[in-house]
């Protein structure tokens, strides 16, 4: 397998793993939420406080963050985006170096042209 195909395969494998983890997280969240409800209401563990709602809300918030990271952020900030950003930064640095070289060359030419010629003879 050539290098480019290997990179594509590794990226695809990584994405499948990420998505699998999100689905697994959702299953645990769903089953865990039911379990917390049962503990609080059916087993009468501090049922007057409805603490399971806070636990489910916090866990749901973490799940939403996980979902956003995998399906939103990773979908447009991927290897291609990263490579484009690197190319832009390298091009910007090259332009800046070129500008500095031109400026330095211009200053050297100006100082060379403004120096008086040595007319003294020994």
Q: Are residues 52 and 62 in the same domain?
A: yes
Q: Are residues 66 and 104 in the same domain?
A: no
Residue range 34-45: mean pLDDT, rounded: 86
- Which residues fall within 8 angstroms of residue 71, CB to CB, at 6 or more apart? 19, 22
Q: Return the higher-pLDDT residue of 64 and 47.
A: 64
Residue range 87-93: mean pLDDT, rounded: 92
Quickly tell me which residue has 């007319």 as its tokens. Answer: 119
Q: Are residues 89 and 72 in the same domain?
A: no
Q: Are residues 11 and 65 in the same domain?
A: yes
In this prediction, residue 119 has a pLDDT band, given cuts at 50, 70 and 90, of low
Q: Are residues 24 and 36 in the same domain?
A: yes
Read off the pTM: 0.62
Q: Are residues 71 and 21 in the same domain?
A: yes
Domain that holds residue 102: 78-110
Predicted local confidence at residue 16, as pLDDT: 93
In this structure, is residue 41 part of a structural domain?
yes
Q: Are residues 56 and 86 in the same domain?
A: no
Predicted local confidence at residue 47, as pLDDT: 67
Predicted local confidence at residue 50, as pLDDT: 84
Residue range 92-99: mean pLDDT, rounded: 93
Rg (CA), the chain: 31
Q: Are residues 28 and 87 in the same domain?
A: no
């Amino acid at each position: 397998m050539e290098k480019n195909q290997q990179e594509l395969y590794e990226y695809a494998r990584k994405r499948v793993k990420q998505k699998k983890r999100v689905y697994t997280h959702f299953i645990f969240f769903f089953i865990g939420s039911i379990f917390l409800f049962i503990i609080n209401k059916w087993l009468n563990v501090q049922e007057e406080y409805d603490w399971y709602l806070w636990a489910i809300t916090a866990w749901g918030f973490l799940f939403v963050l996980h979902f956003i990271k995998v399906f939103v952020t990773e979908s447009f900030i991927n290897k291609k985006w990263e490579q484009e950003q690197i190319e832009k930064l390298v091009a910007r640095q090259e332009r800046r170096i070129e500008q500095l070289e031109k400026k330095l060359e211009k200053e050297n030419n100006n100082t060379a042209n403004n120096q008086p010629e040595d007319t003294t003879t020994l």
